[in-house]
């Protein structure tokens, strides 16, 4: 095993085993250098990679501390539900419905869904969690709007247990393409409190539109991903 790998695997193993807990100060660079008989730049390389992967954070003048790695949200060529994505990563997803209502759309929603003001829409607002051991952490606040005419019995579904996409498909509606727009925003007020975060906490804000095979918009969503627990990867295929 290369010198770099020895240091990297040692720290990572201690974190994953629970010996190093969140908030713990790990050994100093000098101590790790002596322990593994490697240069300090080699130790620094290993620690920097662990910082980039979300396992450590550096505090100038104090050292490196253990943090919880962020959940990687993948925007790839595949369309899948939140539960499917989290289960693939080994997490246990949970959902709480905050609102399920039938409303008349404002001008913004009308524009996003290409509908008129007379066409009612379903508004579904949910807080998505992941469960790790005894910890349940809120990860995403998502609000989706879709035409009531597409799913006339939408108010009867249990969206804490059912996937939104599976309900659409059950009603003969299929999302063939999704277009995402990403912004950086700050969380305030009730939205921040849902994540147990203070005002002015940064978040990834993503608004998305899903289209059917004929390129008609069938769903529009607004999603808040706190930056302290989410990071993104975008896959581009030639």
What are the backbone angles phi and psi of residue 6, rounded to the nearest 5°?
-60, -45
Measured over the CA atoms of residue 130, residue 83, residue 161 and residue 148, the dihedral's sign is positive
> Any idea which architecture 3-66 has in CATH?
Orthogonal Bundle (1.10)
pLDDT at 14: 85
Walk along the chain (238 residues) and give the pLDDT tens digit of each residue.
Answer: 567 788 888 888 888 787 888 888 889 888 988 888 888 888 888 888 888 777 888 888 888 888 876 665 655 444 556 666 766 666 778 899 999 999 999 999 999 999 999 999 999 999 999 887 678 889 999 999 999 999 999 999 999 999 899 999 999 999 999 888 999 999 999 999 999 999 999 999 999 999 999 999 999 999 999 988 888 777 666 6
Q: Does domain 71-234 have CATH number 3.20.20.80?
A: no
Q: Which of 105, 191, 209 is nearest to 147 (CA)?
A: 105
Residue 186 CA to residue 228 CA, distance in Å, equals 12
Domains 3-66 and 71-234 share a fold: no
Specify whether the CB–CB gap between 40 and 201 falls below 8 A. no
What residue spans of the chain are helical by DSSP H? Answer: 3-17, 29-36, 40-52, 82-88, 107-113, 164-170, 189-194
Phi and psi (nearest 5°) for 189?
55, -135
At 67 the pLDDT is 81
Instruction: Report whether 86 contacts 93 (CB < 8 A).
Output: yes
Provide the whole-model pTM. 0.70
Domain limits of the chain? 3-66, 71-234
């Amino acid at each position: 095993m290369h010198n770099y790998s020895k240091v990297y695997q040692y720290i990572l193993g201690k974190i994953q085993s629970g010996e190093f807990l969140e908030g713990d100060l790990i050994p100093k660079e000098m101590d790790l250098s002596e322990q593994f008989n490697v240069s300090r730049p080699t130790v620094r390389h290993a620690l920097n990679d662990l910082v980039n992967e979300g396992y450590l954070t550096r505090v100038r003048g104090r050292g490196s501390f253990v943090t919880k790695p962020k959940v990687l949200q993948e925007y790839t060529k595949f369309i899948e539900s939140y539960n499917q994505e989290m289960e693939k990563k080994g997490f246990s997803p949970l959902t709480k419905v905050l609102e399920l209502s039938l409303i008349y759309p404002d001008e913004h929603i009308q524009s996003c869904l290409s509908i008129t003001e007379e066409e009612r829409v379903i508004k579904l607002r949910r807080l998505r969690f992941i469960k790790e051991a005894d910890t349940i952490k809120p990860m995403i606040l998502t609000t989706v709007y879709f035409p009531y005419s597409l799913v006339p019995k939408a108010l009867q579904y249990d969206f804490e247990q059912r996937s939104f996409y599976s309900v659409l498909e059950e009603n003969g509606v299929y999302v063939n393409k999704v277009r995402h727009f990403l912004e950086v925003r700050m969380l305030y007020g009730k939205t921040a409190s849902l994540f147990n975060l203070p005002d002015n906490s940064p978040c990834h804000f993503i608004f998305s539109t899903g289209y059917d095979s004929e390129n008609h918009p069938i769903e529009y969503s607004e999603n808040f991903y706190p930056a302290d627990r989410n990071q993104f990867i975008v896959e581009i295929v030639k």
